[in-house]
């Protein structure tokens, strides 16, 4: 017997989000981009799981990301900074090898939203995203404008269980199905 869809509103599910600022010069006291993300995630009802600042160095970025990926209580990592083209911008090179699955549509959508704000200058960003184990990772530029654009245009709806027709929260319980299948085979 088929069940009719419920007309009850869905409950909000807060996620535990870690914020990583990649910068050679920022401190917690002057990290406006990281603070912008913290303010927005908390205003949305999510939980700040952790926050860190690391230098623009592949090893430092990966060490922090790997620690958070291994922490089963962290659902999402958002990094800000290091996505440009200068010699010190290495966030994509650090994060992409950690991905089990790449989220190609993220970069496209980020650039579409960013174009409305900064025009063709959006092409100077190498924003990227993917899934590492059961942790979503998003890497965005280090400007407060980019953080606002990404949060308001992508993260706010996609990290909200109530967003329809679909969102990342509703698939989270199934992110490790492939790992469970592998474990069952061995």
Dist. CA 40–CA 100, nearest whole Å? 27
What does the pLDDT read at residue 9?
A: 83
Distances (CA, A) of 178 to 5, 14, 67, 173, 183: 29, 25, 22, 12, 9
> What is the pLDDT averaged over residues 160-182?
86
> What is the pLDDT averaged over residues 69-97?
97
> What is the pLDDT averaged over residues 92-100?
98
Tell me if 113 sits within 8 A of 145, measured CB to CB. Answer: no
Q: Which residue has the higher pLDDT, 71 or 9?
A: 71
* CATH code of the domain occupying 16-185: 3.40.980.10
Dist. CA 77–CA 97, nearest whole Å? 15
Tokens of 144: 């407060």
Kindly report, residue by residue over 112-124, the tens digit of the pLDDT: 999 999 999 999 9
Q: Which residue has the higher pLDDT, 183 or 56?
A: 56
Q: Domain ranges for the chain, please list them.
A: 16-185
Dist. CA 6–CA 81, nearest whole Å? 42
Tokens of 143: 């400007």
Tell me if 62 sits within 8 A of 137, measured CB to CB. Answer: no
């Amino acid at each position: 017997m088929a069940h009719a869809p419920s007309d009850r509103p869905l409950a909000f599910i807060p996620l535990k989000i870690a914020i990583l600022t990649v910068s050679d010069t920022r401190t917690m006291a002057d990290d406006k981009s990281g603070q912008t993300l913290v303010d927005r995630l908390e205003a949305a009802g999510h939980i700040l799981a952790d926050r860190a600042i690391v230098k623009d160095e592949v090893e430092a970025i990966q060490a922090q990301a790997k620690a958070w990926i291994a922490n089963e209580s962290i659902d999402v990592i958002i990094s800000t900074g290091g996505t440009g083209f200068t010699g010190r911008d290495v966030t994509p090179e650090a994060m992409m090898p950690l991905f089990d699955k790449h989220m190609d549509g993220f970069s496209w959508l980020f650039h579409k939203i960013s174009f409305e704000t900064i025009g063709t200058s959006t092409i100077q960003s190498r924003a990227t995203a993917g899934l590492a184990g059961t942790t979503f990772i998003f890497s965005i530029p280090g400007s407060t404008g980019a953080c606002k654009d990404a949060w308001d245009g992508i993260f706010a709806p996609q990290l909200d269980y109530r967003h329809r027709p679909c969102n990342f929260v509703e698939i989270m319980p199934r992110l490790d199905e492939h790992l469970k299948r592998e474990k069952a085979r061995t």
